[in-house]
Amino acid sequence: MNIIETAIPGVVILEPRVFGDSRGYFMESFSRKIFIEQVCKTEFIQDNESKSTYGVVRGLHYQKTPYAQSKLVRVVKGRVLDVAVDIRRGSSTFGKHVAVELTEDNHLQLFIPRGFAHGFAVLSDEAIFQYKCDNYYAPESEGGIAWNDPALGINWGLPDEHVLVSDKDRDRLSLAKSPADFNINNSLY
């Protein structure tokens, strides 16, 4: 497994070694030992999967403390643009984002630490998206920011007329108007 640092410390890309031949391929998609030693000392306790069609944007979501979540995400079918936004007030990268294209062919995974909002846009006809979480979902702890907040400068790779978002995501506030749910000085793990 190759661990690739991004422009925001803590947000990393995991690139598995893929062994292919005429039968197909094999790869180790997760190793607890490697993950804890090289990425983050956290334990994943829940796996989720979503299926979406072209133009769907899911996000930007997070869970507030004490149910804050780290996520390890990947695509098993299709292609998405995956985005992590630093929402930790006081951070030198507050309001900055990392965007990575995850596909069924590149097998890349993105680790999104606690204190980040997360979202993705479906760029293929259909996508099946999987993610590991290190905390259980708690509806009362749900938070989010506007996926199209101009201050974030995210290019989702989709024409505006093709974007499909939920009513809840359509009504989210910009980061500047959102509550300060995370602070760089607070321990999140």
Q: In the 8-state DSSP scheme, what is residue 129? A: E
The yes-or-no answer on residue 131 being catalytic is: yes
Q: Which entry of 25, 54, 61, 137 is annotated as an active-site residue?
A: 61
Euclidean distance between CA atoms 69 and 86, whole angstroms: 13
- Structural domains in the chain, CATH included, are 2-16+44-175 (2.60.120.10)
Q: Which entry of 25, 131, 137, 162 is annotated as an active-site residue?
A: 131
A 10 A CB-CB count for 137 gives: 12
- The pLDDT of residue 12: 98
64-115 pLDDT, tens digit per residue, is 999 999 999 999 999 999 999 999 999 999 999 999 999 999 999 999 999 9
**pTM of the predicted structure, to 2 decimals:** 0.95
Contact assessment for residue 116 and residue 40, using Cβ atoms and an 8 Å cutoff:
no
Question: Which residue type sits at 46?
Answer: Q
